[in-house]
Amino acid sequence: MRIVMLGTGYVGLVSGACFAEFGMEVVCVDKDAGKIARLQNGEIPIYEPGLDELVRKNSVRQTLSFTTDLAAAMHGAEAVFIAVGTPSRRGDGHADLTYVYDAAKDIAAHIKEYTVVVTKSTVPVGTGREVESIIGKLVPRDMFDVASNPEFLREGSAIGDFMRPDRVVIGTHSKRAEAILKSIYRPLYLIETPVVMCDLETAELAKYAANAFLATKITFINEIADLCEKTGADVQDVARAIGLDGRIGRKFLHAGPGFGGSCFPKDTLALMRTGQENNSPLRIVETVVDVNTKRKKQMAQRVIAACGNDVKGKTIAVLGVTFKPNTDDMRDAPSLDILPLLQQAGAKLRAYDPAGMKEAAAMLPDITWCKDAYDALTGSDAAVLITEWNEFRGLEAEKIAALLNHKILVDLRNVYKPEDMRDAGLQYTRIGESEMKSKPQNALAAIHNLGLVDDEADEEISLEKQAS
């Protein structure tokens, strides 16, 4: 079966390559001729583990191709997926549907036989109906149906998420469209992946509800982390203690600097607007947006506080700038809030990120970009870990301490064991650790550092640490 994927961004390219892997004949279409030429040449414009191999393999066996010619692509295609961008509209947070509606018009002009038009982009409730009326102006109603098939792909693990989804959601009123979509997803059907058949509006809202719920879960544990710091609790243990409850679940309970990325920030805003517009305000989502926005900025203050409330003239090493590991994506990354605030407070920044530096350099001026983590740490006074890339987990505590002039490490992702860091003489702070616990231990690390400790005192310290 031939299908068209309209849009070769993150969703379109991953979905197109995976559908090709399912055995579909997939034609990916984009208006950007340069991008299509690069894709035809095997160049992958996004950093997604495994995508280059999947695109290459399916291009060679001709189950995947790229073109700017939508008319030719649609010839013989039973389904056309709209996978174009739906960015936040400037100023009001609504999803900008210009590209979706332009795509619907373009598709309508080339429907010559019955076609299912499928919105895969994340679109507000009601968009599918609007697409239906746009196409219906040009195409007889029995020549097409519209369906919603939202994706739940995480950047960095998108192919795995596509090939082994928790569920497939298909929204349509048409039995004919349902049959075609089920045959496209047959390989997942065969491994008994749950398929949620529902109507258009339900599928559209389910996507936003999923992302807003996950963003809420993250924001919840972030606020619990702040309370842990005031009450002597540890957020890692709280997260474990509640996550083992099957009704809560262990995932998305990692406290951090706040969520970023191309989805949660824009989708929570768009859903908030949908609620307001329909006189059914989503006050929890509104609060999540507000709390998360403030949190990312508060993280800069956390670094400044760890440096004795003054970073003027100090050099700070930054480990990771992307919004999460295993991606080069900088969209709404916490670093975009944290780093300019540190610079405004007078800090000089030396930064390293395994994949995001090219993209970040255009967004974060006046930063010294380094060749690896130890290079960034060399000659710095303090360090902050913002993104939990695996390669940071292997850094040696002693080496970090030796390279940092003031031996201060702020870990915004709780990557390290506090005792390892403090035993190496680092004043180490993390998210959601009791201040009552971290302050004395950091003071001890500082004393240890300054070499003011003799053998008896060493003995006292270790006894004291055992007591704490």
Which residues does the annotation mark as catalytic?
263
Distance CA 203, CA 160 (A): 22
What single string gives the DSSP state of each residue in 408-426? EEEETT--S-HHHHHHTT-
Does an H or E element contain 383, and which?
Answer: strand 382-385
User: Minimum CB separation from ligand UDX for residue 119, in Å?
Assistant: 14
Question: In the complex with ligand UDX, which residue's Cβ is closer, 20 or 218?
Answer: 218
Question: In the complex with ligand UDX, which residue's Cβ is closer, 66 or 352?
Answer: 352
Distance CA 15, CA 58 (A): 13
Question: In the complex with ligand UDX, which residue's Cβ is closer, 82 or 403?
Answer: 82
Examine residue 323 and tell whether it contacts ligand UDX (CB under 6 A): yes
User: Minimum CB separation from ligand UDX for residue 346, in Å?
Assistant: 27
Distance CA 279, CA 214 (A): 23
Amino acid at 448: H
User: Minimum CB separation from ligand UDX for residue 216, in Å?
Assistant: 11
Examine residue 66 and tell whether it contacts ligand UDX (CB under 6 A): no
* Contacts of ligand UDX in 249-278 (CB under 6 A): 252-254, 256, 259-261, 263-264
SS3 content of the chain, % helix, strand, coil (to 5): 50, 15, 40
- Token pair of 259, please? 């969520």
Question: In the complex with ligand UDX, which residue's Cβ is closer, 152 or 428?
Answer: 152
Examine residue 10 and tell whether it contacts ligand UDX (CB under 6 A): no
Question: In the complex with ligand UDX, which residue's Cβ is closer, 180 or 233?
Answer: 233
Residue 97 sits at φ, ψ, to 5 deg, of -100, 15
**Are the C-beta atoms of residues 216 and 258 closer than 8 Å to each other?**
no
* Contacts of ligand UDX in 210-229 (CB under 6 A): 211, 214, 218
User: Minimum CB separation from ligand UDX for residue 259, in Å?
Assistant: 3
Question: In the complex with ligand UDX, which residue's Cβ is closer, 9 or 425?
Answer: 9
CA angle 222, 354, 317 (to 5 degrees): 65
Give the up-direction half-sphere exposure of residue 453: CA atoms within 13 A in the CB hemisphere. Answer: 17
User: Minimum CB separation from ligand UDX for residue 14, in Å?
Assistant: 10
Examine residue 154 and tell whether it contacts ligand UDX (CB under 6 A): yes
User: Minimum CB separation from ligand UDX for residue 263, in Å?
Assistant: 3
Measure Cα distances from 5 to 23, 67, 145 in Å.
14, 10, 16
- Token pair of 109, please? 């002009």
Examine residue 389 and tell whether it contacts ligand UDX (CB under 6 A): no
Measure Cα distances from 218 to 171, 258, 259, 291, 404 in Å.
28, 8, 7, 11, 31
Question: In the complex with ligand UDX, which residue's Cβ is closer, 219 or 441?
Answer: 219
From 46-54, 61-69, 138-146, 248-256, give the range in contact with ligand UDX by CB under 6 A: 248-256
Give the residue, chosen from 82, 153, 341, 421, that forms a contact with ligand UDX under the rule CB under 6 A.
Answer: 153
Residue whose tokens read 């709390």: 291
User: Minimum CB separation from ligand UDX for residue 310, in Å?
Assistant: 29
Residues that bind ligand UDX (CB under 6 A): 151-155, 211, 214, 218, 252-254, 256, 259-261, 263-264, 323-324
